[in-house]
Structures are given as structure tokens and as C-alpha cells.
């Protein structure tokens, strides 16, 4: 019992130095690590040692919030930089080894039994497992958010709104139109058109990367939505494969007028 109290006091009083020892032992094994990352790691490990002491004192697992914040922060950095979660996960084995070595040194210094040492190691591994789990969950959540934001940006790039005259805009459809991009176009691009008091839209399809029956249906939905908004739609740039898809589908695009290119469409409008 006395050994336990002495261990708790030691972990609490020396949390900062123990954190410094972990970082010093691990930093040389991790490759490129910024000074800010090292600073945050020291703060996190100091809280980890204190949480270990609190857990021993109360008998209840006290997972430090600093550890969870650190885990989420690392996941956010990796996601923002398009990095791999494996790059962060690879840091855990050397951290476990460094902490295990320190626990062994502390146990020998304070006369901690093998059973107590095993219990300490189990608690530390539990902390680190929860940290790694939190990191994976945060990375997955943030990756989905970044992917969603990227899809919205790609959608607007896939169908930019180009004003040419009062009430007239060109929407060039560029690249590959997927379900997600078609949905984003409906929710991002079309409202922008509505705000511009547009009366005529030239939908140019010359930049499409590929067209099949499904994409054809998506394009019909986009043009149909424009028509329902009271906007006259002119279709241009219909290449042979798109024309064939229109014929095969048995349904025309919403545009009531067709021209080979944007120049001819504009001449028909402003003549």
C-alpha cells in the first residue's frame, strides 16, 4: 500500500520530466517532427502520467482529455495534408517501448512488484489504444468531410457559371459527371444561376470526358431543373457519342435548341 502511494506521488510530481524523457527517447526515431508537435507531445505525455496516477489513486480509468485532443489534432493534420493515418500510427510502437522502459526504471527505483508493473503497463497500453482508436475515428470522419468539400468544389469546377451578356450565362460541363457531382451541381450551381436573374442558359457539353445512359439521365435532370426555373436552355457541343446516347435513351435533352458550338448559339441569341 505504501509503495502504491509512493508511486502515485512520484508520477504526479515528476509528470513533466517523465513526459520530457518519453519525447527525448522517441523523437529521434520518428523522422521529421516539428517543434510544435514536440511541444504538444510533451504536454500530452505529462497529462498521461498524471492520469495514470489518478487511475491508481481512484481505481477508475481516467483517460486524459489532452490525450484525446492530441489524437484528434494529429488526425486533422494528416487529413489536411492528405497524409496517411499509418504515418501517425507508426509512432505508437516506439512510444510504447519508451514508456515501458521508463515504467521499468521507476518500478526498480521504488521497489514496485512485478504484478504492479504489469498492471501499470496494462493501463498505459489501454490509454494508448484509446488514443489510437480516437485517431482512426477522427481521421475517418474528417476524411469524409474533406472528400465532401472536395466534391462540392469539383462540382462547381465541372460546371462553372460563365456570364456573357445580361441574362445569359454559359454552363460548360467539364470532365466526368458522377452522381455526387450531379447532386452538387443541383444544390450549388443551379441556386447560383437563380440568383443571377438568368433568362437563357447555354449548356455546353463539348468538355465531357465520357457519356453513358446514366450520365445522360443526370444531364437531363440538370437541364430539366433549369427549364422548371423558367430559364430557356440551349444545348451545344453535342459530340457523336453524346448524340448516340440521346438517340438510344429515347429522350431529348431539356434544351429546345441545339447548336454545334457556343459561338453559333450566341450568334442566334444576339442577332
Return d(Cα 218, Cα 215) in angstroms, integer: 5
**Res 12: pLDDT:** 92
Pairing of strands 162-165, 232-236: unpaired
State how far Cα 121 lies from the chain centre: 34
| Same domain membership, residue 174 and residue 63 | no
Does residue 189 share a domain with residue 141? no
pLDDT digits (tens, 9 = 90+) for 27-58: 776 666 677 778 888 888 888 899 899 999 88
- Specify whether 180 is located in the same domain as 145: no
Domain span at residue 197 reads 159-270
Whether residue 194 has pLDDT greater than 60? yes
Are residues 121 and 182 both part of a single domain? no
Please state whether 111 falls in left (phi above 0), alpha (psi between -120 and 50) or beta. left
Are residues 19 and 134 part of one domain?
Answer: yes
Residue 82 class from Cβ within 10 Å (0-12 exposed, 13-18 middle, 19+ buried)?
Answer: exposed
How many residues are given for the chain? 271
Same domain, 174 and 257: yes
127 and 175 in a single domain? The answer is no
The reply to whether 125 and 166 lie within a common domain is no
Q: What is the mean pLDDT of the chain?
A: 79
- 12, 88: one domain: yes
Residues 47 and 133 in one domain: yes
Total domain count, the chain: 2
Q: How confident is the model at residue 20 (pLDDT cuts 50, 70, 90)?
A: very high
Q: Which residues pair with 165 in a beta bridge?
A: 168
Output the domain CATH number for residue 207: 3.30.750.24
Residue 149 and residue 178 in one domain: no
Asked whether residue 13 carries a pLDDT value surpassing 90, the answer given is yes
pLDDT bracket for residue 82 (50, 70, 90): low
Give the pLDDT score at 157.
59
Tens-digit pLDDT profile for residues 103-141: 999 999 998 888 888 988 999 888 888 888 887 777 777
pTM equals: 0.52
Strand partners of residue 203: 171, 235
Among 106, 137, 153, where does a domain finish? 153
Of the chain, the end-to-end C-alpha distance in Å amounts to 97
List Cα–Cα distances, 151 to 36, 171, 186, 222, 234, in angstroms.
32, 18, 13, 17, 26
**Residue 87 belongs to what H/E stretch?**
helix 85-89
For residues 236 and 31, which has the higher predicted lDDT (pLDDT)?
Answer: 236
Using alpha carbons only, how large is the chain's radius of gyration in Å?
Answer: 31
158 pLDDT tier (thresholds 50, 70, 90): low
End residue of a domain, out of 112, 136, 153: 153
Angle of CA points 24, 28, 33, to nearest 5° = 95
Task: Assign residue 134 the CATH number of its domain.
Answer: 1.10.490.70
pLDDT at 146: 59
What pLDDT score does 131 carry? 83
> Residues 148, 166: one domain?
no
Amino acid at each position: 500500500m505504501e509503495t502504491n502511494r509512493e508511486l502515485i506521488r512520484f508520477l504526479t510530481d515528476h509528470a513533466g520530466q517523465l513526459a520530457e524523457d518519453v519525447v527525448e527517447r522517441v523523437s529521434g526515431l520518428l523522422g521529421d517532427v516539428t517543434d510544435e508537435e514536440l511541444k504538444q507531445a510533451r504536454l500530452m505525455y505529462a497529462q498521461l502520467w498524471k492520469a495514470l496516477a489518478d487511475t491508481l489513486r481512484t481505481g477508475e480509468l481516467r483517460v486524459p482529455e489532452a490525450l484525446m485532443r492530441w489524437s484528434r489534432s494529429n488526425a486533422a493534420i494528416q487529413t489536411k495534408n492528405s497524409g496517411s493515418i499509418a504515418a501517425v500510427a507508426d509512432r505508437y510502437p516506439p512510444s510504447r517501448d519508451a514508456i515501458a522502459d521508463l515504467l521499468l526504471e521507476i518500478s526498480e527505483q521504488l521497489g514496485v512488484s512485478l504484478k504492479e508493473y504489469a498492471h501499470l503497463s496494462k493501463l498505459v497500453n489501454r490509454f494508448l489504444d484509446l488514443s489510437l482508436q480516437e485517431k482512426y475515428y477522427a481521421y475517418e470522419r474528417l476524411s469524409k468531410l474533406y472528400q465532401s468539400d472536395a466534391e462540392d468544389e469539383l462540382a462547381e469546377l465541372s460546371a462553372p457559371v460563365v456570364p456573357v451578356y445580361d441574362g445569359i450565362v454559359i454552363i460548360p460541363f467539364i470532365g466526368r459527371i458522377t452522381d455526387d457531382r450531379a447532386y452538387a451541381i443541383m444544390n450549388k450551381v443551379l441556386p447560383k444561376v437563380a440568383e443571377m436573374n438568368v433568362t437563357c442558359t447555354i449548356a455546353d457539353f463539348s468538355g465531357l470526358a465520357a457519356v453513358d445512359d446514366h450520365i445522360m439521365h443526370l444531364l437531363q435532370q440538370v437541364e430539366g431543373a433549369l427549364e422548371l426555373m423558367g430559364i430557356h436552355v440551349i444545348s451545344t457541343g453535342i459530340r457523336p457519342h453524346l448524340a448516340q446516347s440521346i438517340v438510344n435513351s429515347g429522350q431529348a435533352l431539356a434544351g429546345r435548341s441545339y447548336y454545334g458550338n457556343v459561338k453559333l448559339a450566341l450568334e442566334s441569341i444576339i442577332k
